[in-house]
Amino acid sequence: MFSTIDYLDWITGRPDAATHDLGSSDLRRAVPEPDGIVPPDLGDLPSPPDDLDLETIIADAYDVGTENVLVTAGATHANFVAMAAAIGAAESDNEDDEDDGNGTPRVLVEKPGYEPLVATPDGLGATVDRFRRPKEAGYELDPARIEGALSDETCCVVVTNRHNPSGSRASRETLAEVSRTVADNDATLLVDEVYAPFCTDDEASVFGGPTAVNLPNTVITNSVTKFLGFGPIRVGWLVADAEFVSRAQSVMFHVPAVSGPAMALTRRALYDESDLADGSRDRIEANRDLLAAFVAERDDLSGSVAPGCTYGFFSHESADGDEISEAAWEEGILVVPGRFFDDDERFRLSLGLDTETVREGLDAFGTVLDSVSAKS
């Protein structure tokens, strides 16, 4: 039912094994000692009041009720639960519809896109369709393309904002137009917002960027992994209308629950989110400038770096994504090939670590690119 997700199979173990990690997109923080539990950056932060639970902290940030929030074991878990809830509701509707009871639910996913967002609905038994976010248009989210790709059986439309892998960001107005189109089709719009906080200080809003919260027929997902950099805690959430959250909660009974210690650490992180965000924002601005300068100085690379974003999708003049990634890995440099994002010709660079560390990595990667270009 669930096939191997090639990207996750490929990436497992590589960040720790790499001499230079230019593949990890989370703004990673120091981890506890082997016998420790609390990440160092959380150790000295004040704990929230005992009567302030995690659901309330998240709900207050998005200006919704706690009935609109479901805490999950990370964003991948949230996406799984959301898709399962949308597909399950469509299957139930089909069973109740005497005329069209045999229709298979369909899920429409952006292309290029993050492989797990395609593999999950496929594993859940839905038919997966795709709509384009073409590089010629800057990978923008085009509501007309979504409308043209919808069918009567489409139960869920899946997008990322910021777009993974390009970093393109859709505005709240564009998301609202998409949500209306999806709602008119009686489908659910799922917006993965783990990269929404990647922006500058003057753009910051809910957890950092434009959100699709409170749009019709829309569920958003997020986590403490990417922007706040607490991946090992493994906590995320989804926000949707109360009826959808109730369906998603029913799915949660079939999958592992979130651990109590992880919930407690996340309460502390989100309670003090504004303080933690300052450090993340500083790194975003410095690393974005570093990445943009690196790409601009190389005649053999094409692609753009979105404002306020530390990752991007690039191509080399004479080598495809696998050739670049393999040449880099021979020198201990982690670069993600574009085949995991539907484009064999490109590769994703992500500057998630501290600025001096990724500066050294880019210098080493530049030497690899010089060697590849010299051979062409």
Domains in the chain, number: 2
Torsion, CA 31, CA 32, CA 37, CA 40, rounded to 10? -80
**Does 307 lie in the same domain as 264?**
no
CATH classification of the domain holding 232: 3.40.640.10
Can you read off the two tokens belonging to residue 42? 């959380």
Can you read off the two tokens belonging to residue 134? 């073409």
CATH classification of the domain holding 366: 3.90.1150.10
* Domain end call among 215, 237, 271: 271
**Does 89 lie in the same domain as 204?**
yes
Phi and psi at 72, nearest 5°, equal: -130, 175
Residue for token digits 């990890």? 24
Q: Could you give the CA distance from residue 219 to residue 166 in angstroms, rounded to a whole number?
A: 22
**Does 136 lie in the same domain as 85?**
yes
**Does 229 lie in the same domain as 131?**
yes
The whole-number pLDDT of residue 376 equals 74
**Does 129 lie in the same domain as 157?**
yes
**Does 197 lie in the same domain as 66?**
yes
Q: Which of 161, 163, 244, 263 is nearest to 205 (CA)?
A: 161
**Does 236 lie in the same domain as 141?**
yes
- Residue 32: inside a domain: no
- Residue 36: inside a domain: no
- Residue 35: inside a domain: no
Q: What does DSSP say about strands 154-160 and 188-192: parallel, antiparallel, or unpaired? A: parallel
Residue by residue, pLDDT tens for the chain (376 residues) are 788 899 999 999 999 999 999 999 999 998 888 888 899 999 888 889 999 999 999 999 999 999 999 999 999 999 999 999 999 999 887 776 655 556 899 999 999 999 999 999 999 999 999 999 999 999 999 999 999 999 999 999 999 999 999 999 999 999 999 999 999 999 999 999 999 999 876 665 667 678 999 999 999 999 999 999 999 999 999 999 999 999 999 999 998 889 999 999 999 999 988 889 889 999 999 999 999 999 999 999 999 999 999 999 999 999 999 999 999 999 999 999 999 999 999 999 999 999 999 999 999 999 999 999 988 7
- Residue 30: inside a domain: no
Q: Could you give the CA distance from residue 311 to residue 346 in angstroms, rounded to a whole number?
A: 13
- Residue 34: inside a domain: no
Q: Which of 345, 346, 201, 355 is nearest to 274 (CA)?
A: 201
- Residue 359: inside a domain: yes
DSSP annotation of 258? P
Q: Could you give the CA distance from residue 90 to residue 250 in angstroms, rounded to a whole number?
A: 15
Phi and psi at 350, nearest 5°, equal: -135, 120
Q: Could you give the CA distance from residue 211 to residue 19 in angstroms, rounded to a whole number?
A: 36
The whole-number pLDDT of residue 199 equals 85
**Does 63 lie in the same domain as 20?**
no
Phi and psi at 24, nearest 5°, equal: -85, 130
* Domain end call among 244, 271, 298: 271
- 188 contacts: CB under 8 Å, gap ≥ 6: 82, 86, 155, 156, 157, 182, 217, 218, 219, 244
State the residue range of the domain holding 349.
Answer: 6-25+278-375
**C-alpha pair distances (Å), 33 with each of 132, 188, 235, 320:** 44, 42, 20, 40
Sheet with 236-239, strands from edge to edge, namely 69-72, 236-239, 218-223, 188-192, 154-160, 106-111, 127-132
**C-alpha pair distances (Å), 260 with each of 40, 73, 138, 272:** 19, 11, 42, 19
- Residue 72: inside a domain: yes
**Does 284 lie in the same domain as 266?**
no
Residue for token digits 């390009």? 166
- Residue 1: inside a domain: no
**Does 148 lie in the same domain as 71?**
yes
* Domain end call among 230, 245, 271: 271
The whole-number pLDDT of residue 70 equals 97
**Does 60 lie in the same domain as 205?**
yes
Q: How many residues are present in the chain?
A: 376
pTM: 0.95
**Does 296 lie in the same domain as 257?**
no
